[in-house]
Amino acid sequence: MKSSKKIILASESQRRKDLLMQIGIKKFLSVKHDIDEKKILLDPPITKSIVELAFMKANSVRQKLDKPKKIIIAGDTIVFRAGRVFEKTGCKEKVKEYLKLLSARRHFVYGGLCVISDDGRIFKRLIITEVYFNKISENDISDEILEDGIGKAGGYAIQSFSARFVRKIRGCYTNIVGISIPELYKILKILEF
């Protein structure tokens, strides 16, 4: 993708940076948003909340800019199963708990995507991916799996060690990683990026 328009990613996530580079966006700024995700209550419907959270992230970065004539991209992801949100984990014990609850079951990854164009247009998308895990035994949960799951929604990173547990997915793989690249690409085409 070649364009003179400037891109800002409203995230410092390496996974999201890698995804942008994967579709040929080499030059972009990564700017930390000012949203304290721990204080955000994901009200029902969760699907609406996750899209709104992505918008809040994009908008918080836009408000920081002196000249907001840039395309701002923000994303958020949550793992959801049986009425429960599996938030980002802070410790190995929580990773282990999550993996046991997700073992041999289906769960959903809800991705919120927001793009604010250089002329102020707002594009919001919800992406839903179904993920089916194989049975995870006690022996499967190694220290590297536990370490890898810290700070991740659902306690796992599909692009890393936990890929071994995934039986199948229905929907967008990159949504699970951090941003739905097909949806983002569609929006960028509308913006003639």
Catalytic positions are 76
Measured CA to CA, the distance from residue 98 to residue 84 in angstroms comes to 11
Instruction: State whether residue 172 is helix, strand or coil.
Output: coil
**β-pairing verdict for 29-30 and 122-133:** unpaired
8 A C-beta contact, residue 133 and residue 166: yes
Nearest 5 degrees, angle CA 54-CA 74-CA 189? 120
Within 10-52, strands assigned E span 29-30
The position carrying tokens 């991209």 is: 73
